[in-house]
Structures are given as C-alpha cells and as structure tokens.
C-alpha cells in the first residue's frame, strides 16, 4: 500500500509557494517538503485540517491510495 500526497498539484493550482503555504498552515517548509516527497509516516488531523482549510479542499484532494505495484515505495521501505 502506498499513500501519495498530491500537495504539489494543489499548490500549483493555487499558485502558492511552499513558503506561503507553510506559513498559512503553521508548519515549517521542511515539514511541507517531507509531506510532498512522500517521506511522512503520519499526518496529524490538526495538520490535515489546516491544509484543507488553507487550500479549501477535501482530504482526498491531497491524499490518495494506490496499490503497492503502482506506488513509488511500499510501506516496508518505511519500516527499515
């Protein structure tokens, strides 16, 4: 299973820079990069809420699930 974070798509649609977005959400640009690059192991609901409020979107607009053979990495790679 792979969860893909499509923040870059949403930021591009809204012409938002990572810095502007990070400030609006209330987290660091480094943490935005962790989310965008698929290295996050978890997302707090409060952070997801802030992301959705800032982007005026639903969680499914920024997160999607793909089966292992379609994802970039499997969950086992995160557990090493």
pLDDT tens for 18-51 read 999 999 999 999 999 999 988 999 999 999 999 9
pLDDT at 79 over 80: no
Counted domains in the chain? 1
C-alpha count within 13 angstroms, C-beta hemisphere, residue 76: 2
Give the range of the structural domain holding residue 55, as residue numbers without chain letter: 2-78
Cα distances (angstroms) measured from residue 71 to each of 3, 4, 20, 26, 53: 8, 8, 29, 29, 27
Residue 74 has a pLDDT of 47
pLDDT tens-digit readout, 8-19: 999 999 999 999
CATH number of 74's domain:
1.10.260.40
Q: 53: phi > 0 → left, psi -120 to 50 → alpha, else beta; which?
A: alpha
Residue 38 has a pLDDT of 87
């Amino acid at each position: 299973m792979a969860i893909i974070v499509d923040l870059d798509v949403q930021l591009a649609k809204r012409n938002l820079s990572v810095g502007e977005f990070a400030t609006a959400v209330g987290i660091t640009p480094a943490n935005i990069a962790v989310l965008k690059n698929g290295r996050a192991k978890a997302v707090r609901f409060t952070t997801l809420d802030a992301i959705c409020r800032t982007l005026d979107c639903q969680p499914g607009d920024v997160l999607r699930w793909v089966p292992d053979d379609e994802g970039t990495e499997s969950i086992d790679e995160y557990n090493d």
